[in-house]
Amino acid sequence: MGFGQWTAPALLLTCAMAAQASAQDKRLKRSDLPPAVQKTADEQSAGAIVRGYSSETEDGELEYEVALTVHGHARDVTIAPDGTVLEIEEEVVLDSLPAAVRAGLVHAAGSGKIVKVESLTKRGAIVAYEAQVRTGPKRSEVQVGPDGSPLAHQE
């Protein structure tokens, strides 16, 4: 095989590996976090059980995450290197949501079964609700806005 025959497959493999590496979480200890991130993580985890810390690069930006358990449910806080809270994903009970949000999630799930629901908060306001859906062996996610309507784009 000549050089040209190997170039495309090698390039594809390299891109696939780079994409996978950038999406992977790197497990960290609290002491590995920058001081500003430690401070925010401590504030956000007050009264909670810390399940772990991690970092990942999302859209070319480094982010840190603290995984918590609060009153028996999951809460994940994404923090920028400067300590700013970027997003909070918090597990919620489907039946506790407003009727319009429940209806929107059920409609978006179609014939699938909703197995977990999270609220997504950015800049202090809920921007979406996300449900993990199981349809047979397949798993997927659906999102609706805070009022239960379809989103123009995924949050």
The band of 155, judged by pLDDT with boundaries at 50, 70 and 90, is: confident
The total of other beta-carbon atoms located within 10 Å of residue 10's CB is: 11
- Round to whole Å and give the CA distance between 89 and 117: 10
Distances 136 to 102, 105, 114 between C-alpha atoms, Å: 21, 18, 12
Instruction: Quote the tokens at residue 94.
Output: 């489907």
User: Structure pTM?
Assistant: 0.81
At 8-41, the pLDDT tens digits run: 444 444 444 444 444 578 999 999 999 999 999 9
pLDDT of residue 11: 42
Residue whose entry in the numeric block shows the structure tokens 């497990």: 27
> Which fold is adopted by the domain 27-144?
Nuclear Transport Factor 2; Chain: A, (3.10.450)
At 127-142, the pLDDT tens digits run: 999 999 999 999 999 9
At 54-64, the pLDDT tens digits run: 999 999 999 99
Domain residue spans of the chain: 27-144
Instruction: Quote the tokens at residue 36.
Output: 């500003």
